[in-house]
Amino acid sequence: MNEPKPIDWSKLRGDFPILGQQINGHPLVYFDNAATSQKPRQVLDAIRRYYEHDNANVHRGVHELSNRATDAYEAARARAAKFLNARSPEEIIFTRGTTEGINLVAATWALDHLKPGDTILLTELEHHSNLVPWQMVAQRTGAKLAFIPITGDEGTLDLSRLDAQLADGVKLLSLTHISNSMAVVNPVADICARARLAGVVTVVDAAQSAGHLPLDVQSIGCDFLAFSSNKICGPTGMGVLYGRRELLEKLSPYQGGGEMISKVEYFKTTYNVPPHRFEAGTPHIEGAVGLHAALDYLDAIGRDAIFRHDQELANYAAERLAEFKGIRIFGPKRGRAGLVSFVLPNAHALDVATMADQKGVALRAGHHCNQPLMAKLGVPATLRASFYFYNTRAEVDRFIEVLRGVVKLLGS
Amino acid sequence: MTIEKLTSNFELLGDWEERYGYLIDLGKKLPGLPDADKVEENRVHGCQAMVWLRMSRDTQNPALIRIRADSDAFIVRGLISVLMILFDGKTADEITAADVKSVFSRLGLDQHLSPTRKNGLFAMTERIRTLARGLAIEQNVANN
């Protein structure tokens, strides 16, 4: 067996111009990667190059620049298909992000298919983006919501009743791959296989997993999967929705406008084929170009190596955090993804994050768009440190040192 | 405490740690609200921490407005203490006229006053002004 060649992580860090700066007179420690990642020079250069050389609208003109822009846009689609191991680029819809991807499925498949009495199955871990759209669908269709429960502070799903739950009128299951607050990696392939046996359509929220571990939609076996570009080194306002071709072909359009039509008359329209049917209006072309560069960048490193790196940092951070008396650390003891959420005794998350920022450490404080989950855990807010491949153990040490100072100042 | 005294205390403090330490101490000393008042109708939204605010007319002198507020975060409680020094026991006109921005700027805390910050200071200030105007109108109606 070939030994993988060692990765020079500090050299990769040098690709990120933003990370070299000082915040409030201290070196920036950026631990809010689960919210958005930073961008390497390669992505910034690709976007700049696109605007300096190839910019035009896509799928319209016959002129050279329009052809180049269209080629770049469609090349990004093919690249995204490869990134997910989709069967073809036609299964890739470009969106504004994970949230829009989920809303697209909600507004098309779900509104077309769900009837009063049907059930939408979610988990108790879901981000508001994978909860609120389904509440809206339930209100409009008369379908009801049900939830796969979690087990305590570890946040792993209790799948012991999954088959019974699926058999209870469930038409659609939508779940997160990696929890943005609990760092749990859900066994999505197993869950989707059981859902498929029950004839249930599946949606995977891959916002925290794409770009963090290898993703293969065929081996996961989901019908839809959504992720965001901004969390994986790509530009903001860009995302991908994978949809299995057989489903996409039968799906109603999402928004109306240019690009999504094949023939328009004053009183009726024939819609374009997927994926264009779901991309009304001028798309985020430079977003696609930047995403393409980001996917190339990540795959040159290797997503399995990235996952191991981030997991090691998260485990190390959890281990160091355990030094704080009375701390409550959330997430699984084994198999943690690259983030750690915690609550310090008698120290409000907002206070801690405000003061950590004074020392250049960027943490997230709050409910992380998981209000029902926070209520279930009985905490108003948690602190979260989330990592990416450009973060280092030295930064974790610095974070712990800053946290000690903050705890002392709070007198807790 | 007066706002002048608070400002001169702050000026004696050196680095941000001392300033935050002082703010946290102020927060710890804040009388706060009884649990019965920590209800939805008293909530101030726009903060990552919980914030509750109650305002009433002074029982002795109805022209004056009394403010009581609380939060589960110490820095927010500290910021509330500063607002109390500025606003508690003042008339509605004084509350409307107070230059909150320049006070926080002298304290080196003006970055907390931005509406995009999640500490609720901006929302609290707006709420106090709105409620003060409401109480003043009630008072005028009662007098006429």
> Nearest residue of B to residue A355 by CA position?
B20
* Mean pLDDT, chain A, whole residue set: 95
List the one residue out of A129, A123, A130, A182 whose CA is nearest residue A157.
A123
pLDDT (mean) for B50-73: 92
Domain boundary among A248, A272, A299: A299
A259, A387: one domain: no
Is the CB of A92 inside 8 Å of chain B's CB atoms? no
Query: Rounded distance, CA A123 to CA A213, Å?
Result: 21
Query: Rounded distance, CA A325 to CA A322, Å?
Result: 7
**Closest by Cβ to A350, choosing from B20, B28, B48:** B48
Q: What digits encode the pLDDT tens for the residues B16-46? A: 888 889 999 999 999 999 999 999 999 998 7
Q: What is the pLDDT of residue A6?
A: 86
Supply A403's token pair. 């946290």
Task: Test A358 with B16 for CB contact under 8 angstroms.
Answer: yes
How distant is the Cα of B20 from the closest Cα of chain A, in angstroms? 8
Task: Test B75 with A380 for CB contact under 8 angstroms.
Answer: no
List the one residue out of A205, A238, A239, A230 whose CA is nearest residue A220.
A205
Residues of B known to be catalytic: 47
Domain encompassing residue A212: 44-299
Q: Which residue has the higher pLDDT, A60 or A112?
A: A112
List the one residue out of B52, B49, B50 whose CA is nearest residue B32.
B52
Task: Test B24 with A411 for CB contact under 8 angstroms.
Answer: yes
Q: What is the pLDDT of residue A210?
A: 97
Supply A409's token pair. 């100042």
A287, A319: one domain: no
Domain boundary among A280, A299, A318: A299
Q: What is the pLDDT of residue A306?
A: 98
Task: Test B16 with A24 for CB contact under 8 angstroms.
Answer: yes
Task: Test B73 with A358 for CB contact under 8 angstroms.
Answer: no
pLDDT band at B11 (very low <50, low <70, confident <90, very high): confident
CA torsion sign for A355, B120, B13, B108 is positive
Q: What is the CATH number of the domain that holds A384?
A: 3.90.1150.10
Instruction: Please determine, for residue B115, whether its predicted confidence score (pLDDT) is greater than 80.
Output: no
Q: What is the pLDDT of residue B102?
A: 87
Q: What digits encode the pLDDT tens for the residues B96-105? A: 898 888 888 8
Supply B140's token pair. 């005028």
pLDDT (mean) for A282-302: 97
Q: Does A347 fall in a domain?
A: yes
How many domains does chain A contain in total?
2
Chain B positions touching A411 (Cβ under 8 A) are 24, 28
Per the CB < 8 A criterion, the answer to whether A405 and B17 are in contact is yes
Q: Does A253 fall in a domain?
A: yes
Residue ranges of B 102-141 with Cβ closer than 8 A to chain A: 118-119
Q: What is the pLDDT of residue A55?
A: 96
How distant is the Cα of B49 from the closest Cα of chain A, in angstroms? 7
A113, A13: one domain: no
Chain B positions touching A349 (Cβ under 8 A) are 48
CATH-assigned architecture of domain B3-143: Alpha-Beta Complex (3.90)
Q: What digits encode the pLDDT tens for the residues A299-316? A: 999 999 999 999 999 999
Residue reference for tokens 């950590």: A356
List the one residue out of A199, A196, A180, A176 whose CA is nearest residue A188.
A176
Instruction: Please determine, for residue B111, whether its predicted confidence score (pLDDT) is greater than 80.
Output: no
Q: How much is the ipTM here?
A: 0.85
Q: What is the pLDDT of residue A41?
A: 98
pLDDT (mean) for A8-37: 96
A320, A173: one domain: no
Is the CB of A375 inside 8 Å of chain B's CB atoms? no
Chain A positions touching B49 (Cβ under 8 A) are 348, 350-351, 380-381
Phi, psi of A375, rounded to the nearest 5 degrees: -60, -40
Domain boundary among A259, A280, A299: A299
Instruction: Please determine, for residue B14, whether its predicted confidence score (pLDDT) is greater than 80.
Output: no
Q: What is the pLDDT of residue A280?
A: 92
Which of the listed ranges A96-105, A251-260, A375-384 does the model predict with the highest average pLDDT? A96-105
A129, A205: one domain: yes
